Amino acid sequence: MKVSVKVPATTANLGPGFDCLGLALPIYNTITVEETIMPGTGIEINIIDETNEQDIISIPTDENNIVYKAIELLYNSIGQTPDELKITINTHIPIARGLGSSAAVVVGGLLAANKLLGSPADEAALLSIASEIEGHPDNVTPAIVGGFVIASFEEDGSVIYRKLPWPKDWKITVCIPDYELATDIARSVIPKDIPLKDAIFNLKHSAMLVEAVNSQDKELMKFALNDKLHQPYREKLVPGMKEIKDALKHEENVLGCVLSGAGPSLLVVSYGNNLNKIKEIISKTWLDLNVKSQIYTLDVEENGAVILE
Ligand code: HSE
């Protein structure tokens, strides 16, 4: 028996909502988990890069693979171990670009393995295992449930989340540079202790952001898409980010530009139809720094992971 799951890309943080806000985007990975028939064949992991542009060589294909680790936690939670499994990952989501590629494969592997096992884990258990593997819930939650979410990974390992409708005319432009940035490196530059005034800054901006989405308030969203917890420290890892953010401040219809997750991709929230101008500013700023980019304007994906029959 085999099960395939299609999982959307995700963007986390949206500026001030570090480790708690995220939304799903319509780029997908498909993860297939198969029980191998021959005993003793062990674990086989295949990664197929559907874009032909990714560096998949460095991704482990043994027990150190995060999909395997997630599946192992699921099996362990019901007192079993995964002995014979074939895992195939078809990847479209750019790797290590801040678009939730690891969350997508973790979620896909978990949902597929859960179905193979007869669905012993409910959504709460799957969210909890996926967040434990990722270390934060802001990619795995929208990957599972879709849309715009506020998520909290609690000390007892549970995840509390709420999903809000994203305003239909607010577009997301993802700007993906031609280099990778590992999340652990992007997290290592953030100090462990931050000034109280910066914590207060983010508290009020993330609260305002949720209300801006809730009431489709563009002016409030413009105010809210600001952060002092992670982007000021990560800026040095993403050349051109400051220039792009500054240039877009003057563009009509732009509500804000933030790092997508841990970066290095940037995310522009906008409405209306001056998207070509926005793309031109970003690709030119990066090209001047010898950075090539891919830029897509997307709607938010309101659906989460889907089990393909
Ligand atoms: N909230 C996480 C971070 C997202 O910013 O490090 C990583 O994808």
Model pLDDT, residue 232: 97
Model confidence at 178, pLDDT cuts 50, 70, 90, reads very high
Are the C-beta atoms of 163 and 146 separated by less than 8 Å? yes
Model pLDDT, residue 170: 96
Q: From the alpha carbon of 10, which atom of ligand 1 is closest? A: 8
Model confidence at 144, pLDDT cuts 50, 70, 90, reads very high
**Section 9-23 average pLDDT:** 98
pTM of the model: 0.95
- For the chain, the structural domain boundaries read 2-165+301-308, 171-298
In the predicted structure, residue 158 carries a pLDDT above the cut 90: yes
CA of 138 to the centre of ligand 1 (A): 7
Of 84 and 229, more confident: 229
| Least confident residue range of 33-47, 76-90, 149-163 | 33-47
Of 65 and 61, more confident: 65
Model confidence at 6, pLDDT cuts 50, 70, 90, reads very high
Model pLDDT, residue 244: 95
Q: From the alpha carbon of 20, which atom of ligand 1 is closest? A: 1
Question: 251-288: per-residue pLDDT in tens?
Answer: 889 999 999 999 999 999 999 877 888 999 999 999 99
In the predicted structure, residue 41 carries a pLDDT above the cut 80: no
Model pLDDT, residue 62: 78
CA of 260 to the centre of ligand 1 (A): 8
Model confidence at 309, pLDDT cuts 50, 70, 90, reads low
Ligand 1 pocket residues where CB is under 6 Å: 12-13, 18-19, 98, 136, 138-139, 183, 186-187, 230, 261-262
Let me know if the fold of 2-165+301-308 is the same as that of 171-298: no
Model confidence at 38, pLDDT cuts 50, 70, 90, reads confident
CATH number for region 171-298: 3.30.70.890
User: Which residue, by CA, sits nearest to atom 8 of ligand 1?
Assistant: 261
In the predicted structure, residue 149 carries a pLDDT above the cut 90: yes
Is 2-165+301-308 in CATH node 1.10.3130.10?
A: no
CA of 149 to the centre of ligand 1 (A): 14
Question: 216-255: per-residue pLDDT in tens?
Answer: 999 999 999 999 999 999 999 999 999 999 999 988 899 9
Model pLDDT, residue 63: 83
User: Which residue, by CA, sits nearest to atom 4 of ligand 1?
Assistant: 261
Pocket test for ligand 1, best of 14, 19, 101, 152 (most atoms within 8 A of CB): 19
User: Which residue, by CA, sits nearest to atom 6 of ligand 1?
Assistant: 262
Pocket test for ligand 1, best of 134, 189, 230 (most atoms within 8 A of CB): 230
| Whole-number average pLDDT of the chain | 94
Share of the chain above pLDDT 70, in %: 98
CA of 78 to the centre of ligand 1 (A): 29
Model pLDDT, residue 172: 96
**Section 87-110 average pLDDT:** 95
CA of 49 to the centre of ligand 1 (A): 23
